[in-house]
Amino acid sequence: MASTHDTLTLNSVDAIINALGGTEKAAAELRETENRVAVWKHRGAFPANRFMRHTAVLRNKGIAAPPSLWGQQDESSAAPRARSA
């Protein structure tokens, strides 16, 4: 779909599902049931245990999304680590 330089960043579950072609096509792309995808769309969040698989699919489609959509902590919002002396 996109070259390695063309990454579309989407910030909501709804936007991701729509970019994948809607609930039915998103379910096929993500290897999930339509019902599950519809529930995630309604909740506005993906389950954490799907993070690696879903982001791999999205990456192959040229789509990026914040890890927080899967309940993961964004690197930019992570607390700084204490330095050891």
The answer to whether residue 52 sits within a structural domain is: yes
pLDDT digits (tens, 9 = 90+) for 13-32: 999 999 999 999 999 999 99
| Average pLDDT for 22-49 | 98
The answer to whether residue 75 sits within a structural domain is: no
The answer to whether residue 20 sits within a structural domain is: yes
User: Is 82's pLDDT higher than 80?
Assistant: no
CA 43 to each of CA 10, 11, 58, 72: distance values in angstroms, whole numbers, following the listed order: 16, 14, 19, 16
Residue span of the structural domain in which 54 resides: 8-67
The answer to whether residue 79 sits within a structural domain is: no
The answer to whether residue 13 sits within a structural domain is: yes
**In the structure, what pLDDT confidence band is assigned to residue 74 with cuts at 50, 70 and 90?**
confident
The answer to whether residue 72 sits within a structural domain is: no
When divided into structural domains, the chain yields a total of 1
Task: Give the CATH number for residue 58.
Answer: 1.10.260.40
Kindly report the pTM of this predicted structure: 0.80
